[in-house]
Amino acid sequence: MPEKRIKDRVTKRLSVRFGTSELNNNGITSNLSPTGIFIRTNSGLAPGTPVNVELTLPDNRILNMKGTVMWTKRVHPKLAEFSRNGMGIMLKDKPEEYSKFVLELLK
């Protein structure tokens, strides 16, 4: 099956808070791209769910973004050593700072 992703991505671990209205869930980014992020979390939301994301950059700046859950992955606990629970988010509303940050990492 061909890869659907058309943008590059970079592995980066950053702290994230997210939720549908309140930012009441926590996670860690696994990778970032100009158009989305993968969040490692045990609190994955259903595909199609609108989500608010608060991303903390390495210099402690906080970026607030909005997106949609595209897919969620739940791994059996016995397989946790090999794969992680999480969800892919397509970002729809993100600050210019996010795009600059990701593009700098991709260089």
What is the C-alpha to C-alpha distance for residues 75 and 30, in angstroms, rounded to an integer? 15
Instruction: Give the global pTM.
Output: 0.83
Q: For the segment 18-76, what is each residue's pLDDT rounded down to a tens digit?
A: 999 999 999 999 999 999 999 999 888 999 999 999 999 999 999 999 999 999 887 65
- Provide the CATH topology of domain 10-106: Thrombin, subunit H (2.40.10)
- Is residue 2 very low, low, confident or very high in pLDDT (cuts 50, 70, 90)? very low
Q: Which residue has the tokens 């402690």?
A: 60
Return the domain boundaries, the chain. Answer: 10-106
